[in-house]
Chains A and B, each alone.
Chain A
Amino acid sequence: MRVDTGVSDKIATASDLLDKLQPIDEALRKCRYQQDALIEVLHTVEKTYGFLDEVHLDYLSLQLKLPPSLVYGVATFYNFFTLDPRAEHTCVVCLGTACYIKNAAEILTQIEKIFSLECGNTTADGKFRLLTTRCFGSCSLAPMLTMDNEVSIKLTPEAAVAAIRKKLAHSGATDTGEGT
């Protein structure tokens, strides 16, 4: 689901914006405005809004009295934080060693081909995002992927595509890659 952050839209009033930033204030209070808690607060922001908006980062830099460059640096350094709005469905293909030796690369290529989507990107309609990870730590189930945190295991390229299609079809997504 796309969360409205009040940024891309026209900001109606300042108080409106402040209202929307309230969860950040709460997180900041909880860590007593300590600069060292930047990563924890970013975790909260990511969890609350689904991604990190520039406004959030600016607000944090102001409140924690940290240079914006530092906040931006931390936000972009770690893989967990994303600066783009999340898609409705996210598929994460595991490319850990155990998955890799069991053909995970082929699975990824197949998904990329069928959904005409490069890894790391979102489809134009914002419905489907394809990511990879380096190991979920469930290597006995290799190769695996998660679709919206639901795990599919011991996959073949065909099974992987089917698992994704099933999820997309459920939500009535327009392009399930059927045509290609």
Chain B
Amino acid sequence: MNPVELQARAEQERMRQQQLRLRLLLCCSPPCLAVGAETIRQTLTELIAKRQLAAELEIVATGCMGPCSRGPLLRIQYQNGSLKTYEQVTPELATELLLQAVANRPTTHPPLSTELPFFSRQTQIVLQNTGWIDPENILHGIARNGYAALARVVHEMTPEEVCTAIKASGLRGRGGGGYPTGVKWNLVRKASAERKFVVANGDEGDPGAYMDRTLMEADPHRILEGMAIAGFAVGAEQGYIYVRGEYPLAAARLDRAIQDAERLGLLGSRILNSSFNFRIDLRVGAGAFVCGEETALMTSIMGRRGQPVPRPPYPAQSGLWGYPTLLNNVETLANIAPIIRQGAAWFAGFGTEHSKGTKVFALCGELVNEGLIEVPMGISLREIIFEIGGGISGGGRFKAVQTGGPSGGCIPEEHLDTPVDYERLKELGSIMGSGGLIVMSRKSCMPDIARFFIDFCREESCGKCVPCRVGLVEMYQLLERITSGSATLDDLEKLEQLCRLVQDTSLCGLGIAAPNPVLSTLRYFREEYLAHIRDHCCPAGSCRLDRHALLVPPEAAAQPALSREDC
């Protein structure tokens, strides 16, 4: 296939779609499937077969449409271009809607308003296609400009120009670190070696984050296109996409997408009739949080235990099998094609001075509207939580928002007007992270949340370096004593010291960032810790404190601190 044929295919598919009287876009992402999307699909398919309507309408099983807590979601696209989205659809409602639409009768059921802040406050670049295409049909992606950027890159640009464009766009790593993508690409491009690799990091391990999963499931071709462009820019012919083991659907979709793209000559040898070759292989993780760390991820791709190695050398100098390797998060790679298509200046027009573009967040917790959103950088947390998210559910009061998962921190109400960008979140003791936003109400106890995250990191520590392996266990035990009401003020001091120690001396990002949830809750909610220790009460009412802890002799109270298994 050459670029002209690609364009012709896109045009042909667009025409086909326009000629349909109706298109029924049904969200078939896991949250919607869990509430019955599959039954709706079957009902509609049967109805279409029964009424012999297959020629004039189609059902499209799409990826995530966004407002996950309102599923199952059904979007009806009319021939004149008008759209209606319905929430909490049942098979009966879907049947009724279809029959009314086919008979050209006005629908009686009210659709979701497009004016809802949940939709109107978003800016979608990365999520442009999710919810609009069938991820298993490559033509759907092509019809929405899929692979057009790759065609342009391989025929009209030099690798240097591509790197310059990405650098000029101001795009920074979306996995959490925020390293300038263009700079990284240039480093790998300039490294001289006989082989180079591109790796896409889809090992989204943060609990409460599902941006990457959605992207890989709902628009896999966008990521593959980004990887191929990256391969061209840095001079690599082989790419790996590493998918978290917990996401079998994402892995299956990517596998299929790679095969489809290869069949059309969009990946593989002589891509789009150019001299550029690029192959992508899928690697499925086996359940280890630490594999999100770049060096650990590469060790895992090479079939070993996912344990990190000290940097430098950075992957850009010596990565997979010792060759220069470009490692980007899948969301970063999903930004590449739009930047090439619409220009670096267009992309840089979104966001703040140092953080450009948009960020996808998984917004969940005690909220009215939970779901997947994409907002321009610089938007305030308050707008995200109270406008897009619709505020706290059940009339509760806001307490804190947790960003960045186990490596991030909790941000209290007084800082909600902070604009979302890499630097500002860091100043608050949290991080941008991969994009999980968990909103907590007054019911959540902050020391308990800190304990929860340290428990997570303790379990997921790879065990290679002592500060992380031993320090986190100690921290967990101290937090356990605090939340059970048997701690002293000395313990609190010890906890703070340990936080600094683990932060300063751990080998990789897991250990370095692990104390963040403790430090940030100590910074903003110290009173709650003191209440547990001094007053033996949990202000949130969630911890079961031992009210008689003080009466227990100190030796006995200290006993559970060490057991055989812990040594």
Asked if B34 and A151 make an inter-chain contact with CB atoms under 8 angstroms apart, the answer reads: yes
- Chain B residues with Cβ under 8 A from A79's Cβ? 245, 286-288
Asked if A101 and B303 make an inter-chain contact with CB atoms under 8 angstroms apart, the answer reads: no
Proximity bits, A34-75, B CB within 8 Å = 1, else 0: 011111101100000000000000000000000000100110
Asked if B438 and A97 make an inter-chain contact with CB atoms under 8 angstroms apart, the answer reads: yes
Using A80-B245, A97-B436, A98-B365 as known contacts, say yes or no to A74 and B207 having CB atoms under 8 A apart.
no
B132 interface contact, C-beta 8 A: no
Size band of the B side of the interface? 35 or more
B197 interface contact, C-beta 8 A: no
Asked if A37 and B303 make an inter-chain contact with CB atoms under 8 angstroms apart, the answer reads: yes
- Chain B residues with Cβ under 8 A from A141's Cβ? 31, 34-35, 68-69
- Chain B residues with Cβ under 8 A from A38's Cβ? 303-304
- Chain B residues with Cβ under 8 A from A81's Cβ? 286
A117 interface contact, C-beta 8 A: no
Report the minimal beta-carbon distance from B441 to chain A, rounded to whole angstroms: 8
Asked if A101 and B365 make an inter-chain contact with CB atoms under 8 angstroms apart, the answer reads: yes
Asked if B208 and A139 make an inter-chain contact with CB atoms under 8 angstroms apart, the answer reads: yes
Proximity bits, B408-428, A CB within 8 Å = 1, else 0: 000000000000000000000
Asked if B208 and A98 make an inter-chain contact with CB atoms under 8 angstroms apart, the answer reads: yes
- Within B329-371, the residues touching A (CB, 8 Å) are 362, 364-366, 370-371
A173 interface contact, C-beta 8 A: no
Proximity bits, B66-78, A CB within 8 Å = 1, else 0: 0011010000000
A140 interface contact, C-beta 8 A: yes
Asked if A133 and B364 make an inter-chain contact with CB atoms under 8 angstroms apart, the answer reads: no
Using A39-B303, A101-B366, A139-B210 as known contacts, say yes or no to A133 and B286 having CB atoms under 8 A apart.
no
| A52–B460 alpha-carbon span in the complex (Å) | 21
| A39–B281 alpha-carbon span in the complex (Å) | 14
- Chain B residues with Cβ under 8 A from A98's Cβ? 207-208, 364-365, 438
Using CB atoms, name the residue of chain B closest to A66: B303
- Within B204-237, the residues touching A (CB, 8 Å) are 204-210, 213
Using A97-B402, A98-B365, A151-B34 as known contacts, say yes or no to A43 and B284 having CB atoms under 8 A apart.
yes
Proximity bits, B448-480, A CB within 8 Å = 1, else 0: 010011001000101000000000000000000
Using A38-B303, A101-B449 as known contacts, say yes or no to A140 and B364 having CB atoms under 8 A apart.
yes
Question: Looking at the complex, which one of B68, B206, B300 makes contact with A39 (CB distance below 8 Å)?
Answer: B300
Asked if A138 and B207 make an inter-chain contact with CB atoms under 8 angstroms apart, the answer reads: no
Question: Looking at the complex, which one of A80, A95, A138 makes contact with B30 (CB distance below 8 Å)?
Answer: A138
Asked if A137 and B303 make an inter-chain contact with CB atoms under 8 angstroms apart, the answer reads: no
- Chain B residues with Cβ under 8 A from A144's Cβ? 34
B264 interface contact, C-beta 8 A: no
Asked if B405 and A153 make an inter-chain contact with CB atoms under 8 angstroms apart, the answer reads: no
Report the minimal beta-carbon distance from A32 to chain B, rounded to whole angstroms: 13
| A116–B35 alpha-carbon span in the complex (Å) | 30
- Chain A residues with Cβ under 8 A from B381's Cβ? none
Asked if A140 and B68 make an inter-chain contact with CB atoms under 8 angstroms apart, the answer reads: yes
- Within B247-297, the residues touching A (CB, 8 Å) are 247, 283-289
Asked if A140 and B438 make an inter-chain contact with CB atoms under 8 angstroms apart, the answer reads: no
| A95–B302 alpha-carbon span in the complex (Å) | 30
Using CB atoms, name the residue of chain A closest to B206: A135
Asked if A140 and B370 make an inter-chain contact with CB atoms under 8 angstroms apart, the answer reads: yes
| A39–B34 alpha-carbon span in the complex (Å) | 30
Using CB atoms, name the residue of chain A closest to B405: A97
| A100–B302 alpha-carbon span in the complex (Å) | 34
A70, A140, A142, A144, most chain B CB atoms within 10 A: A140
A80, A81, A100, most chain B CB atoms within 10 A: A100
- Chain B residues with Cβ under 8 A from A78's Cβ? 245, 285-288, 306
Asked if A138 and B34 make an inter-chain contact with CB atoms under 8 angstroms apart, the answer reads: yes
Using CB atoms, name the residue of chain A closest to B71: A140
- Chain A residues with Cβ under 8 A from B460's Cβ? 134
| A112–B56 alpha-carbon span in the complex (Å) | 54
| A78–B213 alpha-carbon span in the complex (Å) | 20
Using CB atoms, name the residue of chain A closest to B443: A101
Interface residues of A (CB under 8 A from B): 35-40, 42-43, 70, 73-74, 77-81, 95-98, 100-102, 133-142, 144, 151, 153
Further 14 A-B residue pairs, CB within 8 A, beyond A74-B303, A97-B365, A98-B365:
A35-B303, A36-B303, A39-B303, A40-B283, A43-B284, A70-B304, A78-B287, A81-B286, A100-B449, A134-B456, A134-B460, A135-B209, A137-B247, A140-B370
In the assembled complex, 12 residue pairs joining A and B whose CB atoms fall closer than 8 Å, in A order, are A77-B288, A77-B306, A78-B286, A96-B207, A96-B208, A98-B364, A100-B207, A101-B440, A137-B209, A138-B34, A139-B362, A140-B364
Interface residues of B (CB under 8 A from A): 30-31, 34-35, 68-69, 71, 204-210, 213, 245-247, 283-289, 300-306, 362, 364-366, 370-371, 402, 405, 436, 438, 440, 443-444, 449, 452-453, 456, 460, 462
Q: Which 4 A-B pairs have the closest CB atoms?
A: A79-B287, A78-B286, A137-B210, A96-B207
